């Protein structure tokens, strides 16, 4: 047995023991984490076990800017099929959001561009990377929102000519075999990894995949069959943990799968702990969007959480 396998086995055993101690009241579960997360009911701050609602709305992405402010994305919707994604910046002061300002994306020609159903936005090396998910496009933008370059893997789905509603985009995308539903990005100094849900289009039987690209969107590789209806990928120990959403689990090529039996959309890694967010699994997307939700805290290498927290009916969680 390799040394790293022995190390993982020892760590797994220790985490099992620690979880049992916590379950029976002999050890205090840690909740020292501090992070932002979004949901279909608002944008929240988790701060050492306490949760503060910062903004109301259907949020689906937040990232910190170099000046310390945050950029967040929300859907319009208002009871319709309108999936336009609007953005705003804010400052975090204590447990409240202040200095809120609208933020726009601008084409190279100076035209305001409104993305559709953005799933993630990431600030890295003074650039913004945006999954314009429903339109099947990924953008690289300046910090001011000017679109420098866009990535189209198969085809894009545009607004119906002369109309501002996005219902046409939703229908045409879902009826196309070329709709991959790119929803999550991880970026390092050399590469960009782009995760595709891949079963939101015409063929619901397809498994998810992710692409490896350089920062100019040149495709360098593709990894297939990483799960079903996947959301979010986080690097960890020579691989990625991925939200295998349809199967209710977190998966990794080397470490144990983590069965959580929730539809998982949010995932982050803090202080050697995975923090995942999910809602009650259902074949009905509307129920997942409004159903009970929960945060899970899992030490890296463990096969189950040592702590979880119910948030009630806050809908989809995106950590």
- How far apart CA 264 and CA 278 sit, in angstroms, is 4
Summarize the confidence of residues 28-46 as an average pLDDT.
Answer: 85
pLDDT at 45 exceeding the cut of 90: yes
Q: Coil, strand, or helix at residue 275?
A: strand
- Asked if 138 and 132 count as a contact pair (C-beta separation under 8 A), the reply is yes
Least confident of 38-47, 75-84, 150-159, 188-197: 75-84
Give the three-state DSSP class for 145. coil
Residue 217 has pLDDT above 80, yes or no: yes
Reply yes or no on whether the pLDDT at 255 is more than 80: yes
pLDDT (mean) for 128-135: 96
Do residues 317 and 262 make contact, with C-beta atoms less than 8 angstroms apart? no
**Mean pLDDT computed over every residue of the chain:** 87
Mind giving me the DSSP string for 103-114?
A: E-EE-TTS-EE-
**Residue 264: how many other CB atoms lie within 10 Å:** 33
* Parallel, antiparallel or unpaired: strands 34-39 and 317-318: antiparallel
Q: Is the pLDDT of residue 11 over 90?
A: no
CA quadruple 76, 78, 79, 84: dihedral, nearest 10 = -10
Please, which pLDDT band fits residue 8 given cuts at 50, 70 and 90?
Answer: low
271 token code pair: 């202080």
Strand 34-39 with 96-103, pairing: unpaired
pLDDT at 129 exceeding the cut of 90: yes
Residue pointed to by tokens 């991959």: 180
Calpha distance 69→53 (Å, rounded): 17
Per-residue pLDDT for 286 more than 90?
no
Question: Is the Cβ–Cβ distance between 192 and 215 less than 8 Å?
Answer: yes
């Amino acid at each position: 047995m390799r040394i790293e396998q022995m190390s993982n086995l020892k760590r797994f055993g220790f985490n099992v023991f620690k979880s049992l101690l916590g379950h029976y009241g002999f050890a205090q579960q840690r909740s020292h984490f501090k992070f932002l997360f979004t949901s279909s009911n608002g944008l929240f701050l988790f701060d050492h076990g306490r949760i503060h609602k910062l903004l109301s709305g259907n949020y689906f992405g937040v990232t910190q800017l170099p000046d310390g402010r945050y950029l967040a994305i929300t859907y319009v919707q208002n009871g319709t099929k309108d999936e336009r994604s609007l953005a705003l910046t804010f400052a975090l002061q204590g447990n409240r959001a202040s200095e809120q300002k609208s933020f726009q994306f601008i084409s190279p020609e100076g035209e305001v561009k409104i993305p559709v159903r953005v799933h993630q936005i990431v600030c890295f090396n003074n650039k913004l990377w945006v999954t314009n998910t429903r339109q099947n496009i990924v953008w690289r933008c300046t910090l001011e929102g000017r679109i420098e370059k866009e990535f189209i893997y198969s085809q894009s789905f545009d607004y119906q000519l002369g109309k501002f509603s996005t219902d046409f985009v939703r229908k045409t995308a879902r009826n196309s075999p070329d709709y991959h539903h790119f929803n999550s990005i991880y970026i390092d100094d050399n590469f960009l990894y782009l995760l595709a849900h891949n079963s939101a289009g015409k063929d619901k039987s397809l498994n998810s995949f992710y692409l490896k690209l350089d920062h100019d969107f040149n495709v360098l590789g593709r990894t297939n069959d990483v799960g079903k209806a996947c959301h979010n990928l986080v690097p960890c120990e020579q691989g990625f943990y991925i939200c295998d959403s349809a199967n209710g689990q977190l998966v990794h090529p080397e470490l144990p799968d983590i069965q959580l039996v929730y539809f998982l959309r949010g995932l982050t890694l803090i202080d050697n702990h995975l923090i995942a967010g999910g809602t009650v699994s259902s074949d009905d997307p509307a129920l997942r969007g409004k159903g009970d939700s929960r945060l899970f805290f899992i030490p890296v290498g463990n096969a189950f959480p040592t702590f979880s927290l119910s948030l009630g009916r806050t809908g989809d969680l995106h950590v």
